[in-house]
Structure 1
Amino acid sequence: MKMIIAVIGSEDAEDLVYELNQNSFFVTKLSTVGGFLKKKSMTLMLGVEDSRVQEAISIIKKMCGSREQLVYTPPTMAGNCCPTVNMTVPMNMKTGGSTIFVMNVEDFQKF
């Protein structure tokens, strides 16, 4: 048995959990926050039989594709020459997608 831990964007969570449940995967959801963009994310934990690991990963890949998002960042210059002007810098960033960890499970018990 394996434990899959998938960190995904919260915007993908509902559809992914539905799709995993439709394919008989049971999921535990944890609400998390990403480090760089401080965006809400979701961490999913799945206990999966060895023979179904690739099936679960394929579903996660299909449902959690990465995409480009326009993010407004603060200007990099020191100080603000015109305090009444909001000088943000638009920047395309890759968001979404998933980070997946697959670990061996030494013991599994369900009560």
Structure 2
Amino acid sequence: MKLLLAIVSDTDRNKINLALIENGVPATIIYSTGGFLNRGTVTFMIGAEDEKVDEIIELIKQNVSSRKEVCKSTLPPALQTLFFVSKQKIEQGGAVIFVLDVENFIKV
């Protein structure tokens, strides 16, 4: 038994959730904020039999998107005028997936 923790952009939440539901994969969603641009993310918690892990990872891969977003400066406005501050486009999207061994699984 494995526990998959898939951290994805909130933008991809609905598409991934629908794909999991259509394939009979139950998941719990936890809302969070994080990442380089401090954007909204969600974490899917998925319990799965060992032989289903690759299939679930592939489902997630097929349903995440990548996009370019502007990274704004973290300098205070007063300092931004003193330094040349350029906005950069950062590649965002995809997923971070942790696969953990589960020693015991109890459903009551």
Runs of 5+ unmatched residues, structure 2 = none
Aligned to 1:110: 107
The equivalences for 1:75-90 within 5 A come to 79=79, 81=81, 89-90=86-87
| Normalised TM-score (structure 1) | 0.84
Q: 1:80 to 1:42 in 2, by over 3 A?
A: closer
The residue aligned with 2:88 is 91
Task: Report the TM-score, using the length of structure 2 for normalisation.
Answer: 0.86
Q: Compute the RMSD of aligned alpha carbons.
A: 2.4
Larger Rg: 1
Q: Percent same amino acid at aligned positions?
A: 31
TM-aligned CA deviation for residue 75 of structure 1: 6.6
Q: Judge conservation of contact 2:37–2:71 (CA < 8 Å) in 1.
A: no
Cα distance per residue 1:51-83 (max 9 Å; x no partner): 11000000111111322223333579x73558x
Write the distance in 1 (CA, Å) between the matches of 2:43 and 2:74: 29
Q: In 2 relative to 1, CA 88–74 (structure 1 residues): closer, same or farther, beyond 3 Å? A: farther
Q: How many residues align?
A: 107
Alignment CA distance shift 1:48-1:88 (3 Å): same
Structure 1 gap segments, 5+ residues each: none
The question of whether the paired residues in 2 share the 8 Å contact of 1:7 and 1:43 is answered with yes
Match of 1:69 in 2: 69
* Closer, same or farther: CA 27–79 of 1 in aligned 2, 3 Å: same
